[in-house]
Chain A
Amino acid sequence: MLTKIERRRGIALGLTSLVGIALFVGIAAFALLSWDAGQAQNRLLTAYNWRILQFTLWQATLSTLLSITFALPVALALGRRPAFPGRIWIVRLMALPMGLPVLIGALGLIGIWGRQGVVNSLLLNLGVEQPVSIYGLSGILIAHVFFNMPLAARLLLAALERLPAEYWLLSSSLGMKPFSVFRFVEWPAARRVIPGIAGLIFMLCATSFTLVLVLGGGPAATTLEVAIYQSLRFDFDPSRAIALSLLQIGITAVILAAISRFPAPDDTDSSLGRTNRRFDGRNWKAKLWDVAAILLATVFLILPLTSILLAGAKADLWKLLMSSAFHRAAWTSFAIALSAGLLAVATSLAIISARRALADIRHPGRPAKILSSALAATASLVLLVPPVVLGTGWFLALRPFGDVARFAPVLVAIINMLMALPFVIRILAPAIETHRRRTSRLSASLGLSGLPQLLRIDLPVLAKPLLTALSFAMALSLGDLGAVALFGSGELTTLPWLVYSQLSSYRTNDADGLALLLGAICLGLTMLGTAGQRRAGHG
């Protein structure tokens, strides 16, 4: 279907981005390995590293278990109550933590679960001596559940809503009681997606950086990523950083390999508007249970968000907005986010068009097949090497060339781009695929190609998914602390870095104000994106 030129151009573009990514990751890896590799090898499993590794896996396991255990009753309740008052808003609320910069979420959680927070004053009033600690393991778990429980609940709900409507009709007509419905209908559906969801959450928690940096960090509560950061930033012990990086890559590789064996959870089919009719759970016990589950989850999510809002509003927002520190950080953040976003979209487009060009070859040879699977794997391979590890590699690679801070903005932008890549491809690939399926034959028969095709056929349809992808990538970059943490300094200050450094210097009032501003910007961008997506989905 493609002309020869189109095919060649597609493959060339894809190859270029593939080589670019491989070089960027490769140089970082090479720098890591060539820096006194022998010493790092000997220090791979020291008592310290072993403890860090254990803690990383332990907290990720607990976070995953807690998130899913909490999410399951919430998803079941929402599934059984399609007409629950404000249901659509509760489901939307559950999408919020995903779009919220992790650092901002952490601030909100401290506001609620911290020493002076609502929960602990309540507990004190009830006569509980030992308050809940938002720091250390318990804090990390609360935060991971805050971010991942709603994700799990949404994915589980989507799995329930994908079941044929007849199942609910049948089960009520057959007279199944709530437990039978759970056993024969709901649980089998949930069980199919839980491994994938658990894998995803485990991955997110095992590589969690910002939350652990803010809420953990002590020797008893440090994950690999934070330990890498600390050994470079505070102790300047590259060989320990390298040893830890190797461990980190090792466990992400194992997790990714495990995840790839499960069906990927997706909520693309999730109607979230189309509701199944349910006839079960009409008795008051079931009603009470569902209301309790939904309300508990809602309160758990809404309190920290409210805290961000209230604490932020107390700050002198106007003064903050006018301060030169804010201007500089906002400008840097915006420039980095825009470059990262544009780069991510461009790279994704190149990868997608190359895969399409390769798929178009009637009898693909070996190289074509290898290239195609390499392109498909790129997006997830990026996940293999976490931002802190990439940063560490480049930090070491660039040190001989003078002050690393000079290169930092470019590095941060590229690392942010790589972080966004898997998500951007996931947004763009289906949209482009649908568009091609609808128009490619017609375009080919009309002889449309090149610029006219781009302007008249592609852009009008694809503008929305492109905008979605861009705003999503920008929000991700704007809220990211992981990549900038290694390089952040007086010279390179992004908004999250500014919040973090003010938090570290106990200027919490300013931090709260900034957090509100940054949170609003990121959520605004994400909403802009999803709004476009929804409309594109209907169009």
Chain B
Amino acid sequence: MVDGIALENVGLRLGVKDFHFDCALSAGSVTAVTGPSGSGKSTFLNLIAGFETADSGRVLVAGGDVTQKHPSERPVSLIFQDNNLFSHLDLLTNVGLGISPSLKLTAENRKAISNALERVGLGGFEKRMPGTLSGGERQRAAFARALVRKKPILLMDEPFAALDPGLRLSMASLLLDLHRETGNTVVIVTHDPEEVGRLADHAIFIDHGRILAQASAKEFLARRDIPQLAEFLSG
């Protein structure tokens, strides 16, 4: 049993596409998931988050078998590329929903929300609406929600893809800071080889629904033996 994430012989069929994943991601690591578009990166994430249920095999998250569990019962936080915040709710509410899905917040909870917003550089933004924020600020707010949720796993689907290159750097360092503070297990889908080097301890390369390569980030970036991976790394 692992404390991180394990996909044990997981098989899934979606329409005409077949997926097969078998891998283990150790607790407290940052794993980058890469691959061409349509290769199955997001499906990989969905299997962990619970938006897809494996046809066969087991999904283990933070020491428990979650294969048949509803997304809400899995100890994960999620950050997407976009639409991480409900645009009609202010930041306090958006972050607060991470603590209590029916928004029953104690004074202590509110304090925690303010602290989390402070921590991601959005101090005093409680009443702001998402529409008044920049793309980077919205992603920071999503980080704040992940912080207050205190889940051992953080899943991210190209969280910085919509941001400017400069902003990506500062967001990446924020992510790493938060990761060191919380010691969570991070899985980040990215199509940017630089981001792999910048963020990840480990990396996975997926093509046609299968894991073609899994290695430490350093080895991963140096590999040239798999043509698809070589093509990806050369940009």
Check if A176 sits within 8 Å of B102, measured CB to CB.
Answer: yes
Contacts of B89 on A, CB cut-off 8 Å? 184, 188
Task: Determine the distance from Cα of A183 to Cα of B89 in the docked complex, in whole angstroms.
Answer: 11
Q: How far is the CB of A209 from chain B (nearest CB, A)?
A: 39
Task: Determine the distance from Cα of A175 to Cα of B50 in the docked complex, in whole angstroms.
Answer: 12
Contact of B88 among A177, A179, A180, A188 (CB under 8 A): A188
B152 adjacent to chain A (CB < 8 Å): no
Binds B, one of A45-53, A165-173, A366-374, A519-527: A165-173
Q: Mark B69-80, 1 if CB is under 8 A from A, else 0.
A: 011111011101
Query: Which residues in chain A, 141-197, are within 8 Å of chain B measured between CB atoms?
Result: 164-167, 169-177, 179-180, 183-185, 188-189, 192
Contact of A166 among B76, B84, B103 (CB under 8 A): B84
Check if A173 sits within 8 Å of B84, measured CB to CB.
Answer: no
Contact A177:B101 (CB < 8 A) given known A184-B86, A188-B88:
yes
Q: Mark B145-162, 1 if CB is under 8 A from A, else 0.
A: 000000000000000000
In which size bucket is the chain B interface?
A: 20 to 34
Q: How far is the CB of B141 from chain A (nearest CB, A)?
A: 13
Check if B71 sits within 8 Å of A279, measured CB to CB.
Answer: yes
Query: Which residues in chain B, 34-62, are within 8 Å of chain A measured between CB atoms?
Result: 49-51
Task: Determine the distance from Cα of A170 to Cα of B88 in the docked complex, in whole angstroms.
Answer: 15
Check if A167 sits within 8 Å of B97, measured CB to CB.
Answer: no
Q: Which residue of chain A has its CB nearest to the CB of B98?
A: A174
Total A residues in contact with B, Cβ cutoff 8 Å: 24
Q: How far is the CB of A175 from chain B (nearest CB, A)?
A: 3
Check if A164 sits within 8 Å of B70, measured CB to CB.
Answer: no
A282 adjacent to chain B (CB < 8 Å): yes
Contact of A282 among B70, B93, B102 (CB under 8 A): B70
Contact A176:B97 (CB < 8 A) given known A184-B86, A184-B89:
yes
A319 adjacent to chain B (CB < 8 Å): no
B83 adjacent to chain A (CB < 8 Å): yes
B207 adjacent to chain A (CB < 8 Å): no
Check if B102 sits within 8 Å of A180, measured CB to CB.
Answer: yes
B192 adjacent to chain A (CB < 8 Å): no
A277 adjacent to chain B (CB < 8 Å): yes
Check if B101 sits within 8 Å of A180, measured CB to CB.
Answer: yes
Task: Determine the distance from Cα of A165 to Cα of B78 in the docked complex, in whole angstroms.
Answer: 14
Contact of B72 among A165, A173, A277 (CB under 8 A): A173
Contact A169:B72 (CB < 8 A) given known A176-B97, A184-B86, A185-B86:
no
Contact A184:B78 (CB < 8 A) given known A173-B49, A174-B72, A277-B51:
no
Contact of A167 among B51, B74, B77, B86 (CB under 8 A): B86
Q: How far is the CB of B123 from chain A (nearest CB, A)?
A: 23
Task: Determine the distance from Cα of A189 to Cα of B87 in the docked complex, in whole angstroms.
Answer: 10
B82 adjacent to chain A (CB < 8 Å): yes
Contacts of A172 on B, CB cut-off 8 Å? 50, 70-72
Q: Mark B81-115, 1 if CB is under 8 A from A, else 0.
A: 01110101100010001100111000000000000
Check if A169 sits within 8 Å of B71, measured CB to CB.
Answer: yes
Contact A170:B51 (CB < 8 A) given known A164-B83, A279-B70:
no
Task: Determine the distance from Cα of A141 to Cα of B29 in the docked complex, in whole angstroms.
Answer: 63
Query: Which residues in chain A, 87-120, are within 8 Å of chain B measured between CB atoms?
Result: none
Can you name 6 A-B pairs with beta carbons within 8 Å? Answer: A169-B71, A173-B78, A180-B101, A180-B103, A184-B97, A277-B51
Given contacts A166-B82, A169-B80, A184-B93, 9 further A-B contacts (CB under 8 A): A169-B49, A172-B50, A172-B71, A173-B74, A173-B78, A175-B73, A175-B101, A180-B102, A279-B72
